[in-house]
Structure 1
Amino acid sequence: MSDPRLRQLTIKTGVVKRLSKEKTVYEKEVVTQRNRIEKLKANGADDHDVRKQEEVLQESMMMVPDCQRRLAKAYEELNEMLKNEEELKESEQYIAALSILGDAKVNLPQ
């Protein structure tokens, strides 16, 4: 991997993959947290505990759009790099980047 373009391609691919996964994790966290709050309320938990869990829920909910924004930016950068570096089409990194772009597309904001 002596070509610096391949190194950049690998880095940008990793960023898109990580941000896509991060967004998915935060979305799952929101669902889990909502369920936890409902259980606390159903069990008659202390108001303070419920409020603290609602704060955690709010933080998780704020992270989803942030992740979407960062993912959209990283996705565009990687997509642009692939368009500009078509001579690397045969490399493993290029093929992996195309695959990651396809996987990440479902996590982009509509």
Structure 2
Amino acid sequence: MTQYLLSVMAREGGPKMSPEEQEKSWYDTGTFNDSLRERGAWVFAGGLGGTPSVIDARGSKAVTTDGPFSESKEYTAGLWIIEAPDLAAAQAIAAEGSHACGAVVEVRPFMTLDEARAANGIEE
């Protein structure tokens, strides 16, 4: 099975949930998480908080800066890592997650080392 990253996307300055809507979202997300465990699709999940820091150690010294790496109005508010037999199954699971948490969910497969080599034109 392939592992997929399901990123919960939020928009800076976007509409806010009422306290009641937020509680329902948390409850529904917990129920969704339980169903992932029962189906054997669960690997990991979590919500992200706070302002990120960016570390750049490509040079001789690590440089730390505040704020996201890229300038964007969208940001990752949480994530799931799941296992699914194929992209279509992962997308179906993402649709359930989107419905549960009330946000857009982005789906991306993790690559194996061989897939990364092929994507970068490197022959083994």
The TM-score, its normalising length taken from structure 1, stands at 0.29
**More helix as a share of residues:** 1
Larger radius of gyration: 1
Q: TM-score, normalised by structure 2?
A: 0.26
